Structure 1
Amino acid sequence: MSYPPPPGSDGVYPPPPDPPVQAYQPPPGYGYQGYDYGNPGSPYSQPVYPYAPARPTEGLAIASLVVSCAGVLGLCAWTVGGVLGLVGAILGHVARRRIRQTGANGAGMALAGIIVGWVCTAIAVLGVAFLVAFVIMQPDTY
């Protein structure tokens, strides 16, 4: 059974609309994996391994370096630099012992604190020795 043409037309119906365009999908088993490699829930994502926790940095190592560097600035005030350098060196030695026991980070800072601290102490001791020698060598002017 055919329907009559609509009134006012010549009896020709318009062609049916084109089907909607779909994105290309490769056939199954073609090896297409998609672009979803980085998303954690994707079946194609790489396994995620947790990072190893960072070892803590020994606080005495940081203190050793800071106090020893303050000793360098304190060299202008003769004995202050020597005392700060000595304290920094001792803190560095204690920090290195604790780092060997616990395995924490900061061995390089502790070593730097030791070196800078002993150098500051040596410079302060030499400075005081030269000052004392200079005062002793001066003739009395009474």
Structure 2
Amino acid sequence: MTDPTNQPPASNEPTPPPVYSPPAAPAYGSPAPAYGAAPAAPQAYTSQGYGTPGVQDKWNVLAIVSLVSAFFVSLAAVICGHIALSQIKKTGEKGRGLAIAGLVLGYLGILSGIIIIVFFIIVTIAAVNDGSYSTY
């Protein structure tokens, strides 16, 4: 009897993997580009190629402004820092650490300013009550 499906009989041995064959060598005698000829055009960037800038490579400007202004105007650092954190959360930009550093330094600047003002008020009140400070 013959097999109606024309398939070879099944065996329990696994089939060997295909044999590796190296790629063909370039043909000798193919013309080389002439000296001084224009180079070949570069390939266009693809979405998976290297060198394509992504959103994660962009720094948030307000985060940088927040950190820099923390050394001069603390209130501006706090405002810019909060806005920068909100934008970073939405866009995924870099600069979260800069915004947090600007916020911390800004709040420390505001706190130290309040402490200095309260200290000068207390010193002034003490000097007036002691009589060492005169208003005329």
The TM-score normalised by the length of structure 1 is: 0.54
Q: 1:54 and 1:30, CA in 2 relative to 1: closer, same or farther beyond 3 A? A: closer
> Does 1:50 pair with 2:50?
yes
Separation in structure 1 between the aligned mates of residue 107 and residue 101 of structure 2, nearest angstrom: 10
Amino acid in structure 1 at the alignment position of 2:93: A
Separation in structure 2 between the aligned mates of residue 93 and residue 57 of structure 1, nearest angstrom: 15
Unaligned regions of 5+ residues in structure 1, if any? 1-28, 34-47, 72-83
Amino acid in structure 2 at the alignment position of 1:53: P
> Does 1:91 pair with 2:71?
no
> Does 1:109 pair with 2:111?
no
Amino acid in structure 2 at the alignment position of 1:99: I
Shift of 1:122: 0.5
Separation in structure 2 between the aligned mates of residue 126 and residue 50 of structure 1, nearest angstrom: 52
> Does 1:62 pair with 2:51?
no
Q: Would you say how many aligned residue pairs link Structure 1 and Structure 2?
A: 90
Separation in structure 1 between the aligned mates of residue 74 and residue 122 of structure 2, nearest angstrom: 23
Amino acid in structure 2 at the alignment position of 1:118: Y
Unaligned regions of 5+ residues in structure 2, if any? 1-20, 26-47
SS in structure 1 of the partner of residue 93 of structure 2 = coil
> Does 1:131 pair with 2:133?
no
Q: 1:30 and 1:58, CA in 2 relative to 1: closer, same or farther beyond 3 A? A: closer
Separation in structure 1 between the aligned mates of residue 22 and residue 85 of structure 2, nearest angstrom: 60
Q: 1:136 and 1:104, CA in 2 relative to 1: closer, same or farther beyond 3 A? A: same
Separation in structure 2 between the aligned mates of residue 113 and residue 87 of structure 1, nearest angstrom: 10
SS in structure 2 of the partner of residue 136 of structure 1 = helix
Amino acid in structure 2 at the alignment position of 1:63: V
Which structure: larger Rg? 1
The TM-score normalised by the length of structure 2 is: 0.56
> Does 1:122 pair with 2:114?
no
Shift of 1:98: 0.8
Q: 1:30 and 1:59, CA in 2 relative to 1: closer, same or farther beyond 3 A? A: closer
Separation in structure 1 between the aligned mates of residue 82 and residue 67 of structure 2, nearest angstrom: 11
Q: 1:99 and 1:30, CA in 2 relative to 1: closer, same or farther beyond 3 A? A: closer
